[in-house]
Amino acid sequence: MSVPPSEEPQVPVTPEQAAESGTVAGRIAMGQRAGGVIVPVLTALVAFLLGGFVVLATGHNPLLAYRDIFNGAGLNWIFHPTTSTVSNASYNLSQTLLQTTTLILTGLAVAFAFRCGMFNIGGQGQYFVGLYVANWIGISFPHMATLPHILLGIGGATAAGAIWAGIAGFLKATVGAHEVITTIMLNWIAIWIGTYFFGDGGPLQNPDNKAVPISGDVADNAKLPVFWGAKELQGLHVGFFVALAALVVFWALLNRTTLGYEVRAVGFNPEAAEYGGINVRKNLIRAMAISGAFAGLAGGLDMLGYLYHYGVSDIPVSSVGFLGIAVALLGRNTAVGTGLAALLFGALLFGTTHGLQSNVIAPDLAGNLTYMIQGLIVLFVGADLLILSVWNARRRVRTRTRAAEAAA
């Protein structure tokens, strides 16, 4: 007995249809349905494998290198859990979570725009303006009470990020300027504004020491409370919980509110959304502003949580905004995924640099290994078609086998 013709259309989405469906968000949503959690995990594994090959080819032992990075990130803490900061693992883990805090928020900044069909590549710039505003507010009111001061600082940073991204959203909605180009330009404008602010004679440069291009420290009553480790040693601050709360807010906003419904509808298909009575332009601006708010919040928390001051030389080194792209893509633009991906990249960020104590691989090599792994992950996750075709091939084989079994 032959397979009935109705068996073939059971495969829900062919890669061709997925590619035709238009927006990035639409395609990624397809990938999500097709791959679930397996695809991101496989992607990360393949990236680590390829990174391992590079390590092997240059004469280092990749397994030992990854073990040292694992320990450097403090992930070995789970074998000996303790809150004592004397323990190396405990300290390293607190530092990893400190990075995770930032990456959750910069990841959400990219993810939210993605769900509205836009690629916010400007997380770095939005993070910077948040950082600047928090620094300015933190320095400016030394006699303010603690709670209002912190709230004002974080609120200001969030608003600054929202406005900075909102410019890109506004330009997209009104004149159709591509958000990728405008956010890249806004990144660099933010970088040079920072260089001006903290540089020689700049308005935010520490007035007590005009010789170095570094800002002053934020006032003590603007600093966030630290709950793990010591304030002087960059302990983990309460912003960590704010980031976790942001994950919940992100999920609730997208899945449980009218705003989220509209944003997702525009992301899937702007024409259909417009036809259905949704104001596409308003949603583009709104989604971009919310996106930027997450990144601005990240900057605010970093400034009031552990950086306290910022210098011209810190600006080109920072890459948390760009890491947010990898975080969002690996996390499939979902709240849970973004949280887990942020943990992975937070661990890589700290475990390959300051936390790394290894005679197998030098921090300079390991730090660049992070960039390579990050690049590979983004490359593979972006190729949803590759994933889809593998997935569909599997589905097709499975359907045929089932049909054959039924026939037998």
Partner 1 sequence: MNTFAARFDGSLGARLRDPRTLGLLGIACAIMACLVALPPLTGRSPLYPVLFGIPAAVLGLATALRGERRLGWGVLVAGLLGIALGVLATHSSTSNLNLVFTASLIASMFVFSTPLVFGAIAGTFSERSGVVNIGLEGMMLMGAFWGVYGADKGHSWVVGLIVAMAAGALLALVHAVFAIHLRADQIVGGTAVNFLALGITGYFFFQLYHGQNVPEGVSTIPDVRIPGLVHTHFFGPAFGKLNLMVWLSFALVIVSWLVLFKTSIGLRIRACGEHPRAADTVGISVYGVRYACVILSGALAALGGAYLSIGFGGGAFTDNMTAGRGFIALAAMIFGNWRPFGAFGAALLFGFSTALAYRLPAYSASAATLFQALPYVLTLIAVAGVIGRTTPPAADGKPYQKQ
Footprint on this chain of partner 1 (rule: CB under 8 A): 16, 19, 24, 27, 54, 58, 119, 121, 171, 175, 177-178, 180-182, 184-186, 188-189, 191-193, 195-196, 199-202, 316, 322, 325-326, 329, 362, 364-365, 367-379, 381-386
Please, which residue, 102 or 205, has the CB nearer to partner 1? 205
Rounded to the nearest whole angstrom, what is the least distance from the CB of residue 37 to partner 1 in the complex? 20
Q: What is the DSSP string of 281-319?
A: HHHHHHHHHHHHHHHHHHHHHHIIIII---BGGGTTT--
Please, which residue, 89 or 366, has the CB nearer to partner 1? 366
User: What's the DSSP call for residue 276?
Assistant: T
Short-list 187, 162, 61, CA closest to 109: 162
In one-letter notation, the amino acid at residue 166 is G
Rounded to the nearest whole angstrom, what is the least distance from the CB of residue 121 to partner 1 in the complex? 7
Please, which residue, 238 or 365, has the CB nearer to partner 1? 365
Please, which residue, 62 or 239, has the CB nearer to partner 1? 62
Rounded to the nearest whole angstrom, what is the least distance from the CB of residue 267 to partner 1 in the complex? 14
Rounded to the nearest whole angstrom, what is the least distance from the CB of residue 49 to partner 1 in the complex? 15
Rounded to the nearest whole angstrom, what is the least distance from the CB of residue 316 to partner 1 in the complex? 7
Q: What is residue 353's three-state secondary structure?
A: coil
Tokens of 387: 């994933």
Angstrom distance (rounded) from CA 237 to CA 243: 11
Rounded to the nearest whole angstrom, what is the least distance from the CB of residue 20 to partner 1 in the complex? 8
Angstrom distance (rounded) from CA 75 to CA 110: 26
In one-letter notation, the amino acid at residue 306 is Y
Please, which residue, 222 or 330, has the CB nearer to partner 1? 330
Rounded to the nearest whole angstrom, what is the least distance from the CB of residue 96 to partner 1 in the complex? 20
H/E stretch holding 127 reads helix 123-140
Tokens of 200: 């020689």
Tokens of 361: 């691989």
Please, which residue, 34 or 154, has the CB nearer to partner 1? 34
Please, which residue, 278 or 379, has the CB nearer to partner 1? 379
Cα–Cα distances in angstroms (integers) from residue 340 to residues 297, 320, 336, in the given order = 19, 16, 6
Beta bridge partners of 142: none
Rounded to the nearest whole angstrom, what is the least distance from the CB of residue 256 to partner 1 in the complex? 28
Please, which residue, 65 or 246, has the CB nearer to partner 1? 65
Give start and end residues of each alpha helix (H) in 73-122: 88-115
Please, which residue, 151 or 383, has the CB nearer to partner 1? 383
Angstrom distance (rounded) from CA 157 to CA 305: 13
Rounded to the nearest whole angstrom, what is the least distance from the CB of residue 74 to partner 1 in the complex? 23
Q: What is the DSSP string of 151-182?
A: HHHHHHHHHHHHHHHHHHHHHHHHH---HHHH
> What's 370-384 look like in SS3?
HHHHHHHHHHHHHCH
Tokens 């006699």, residue? 143
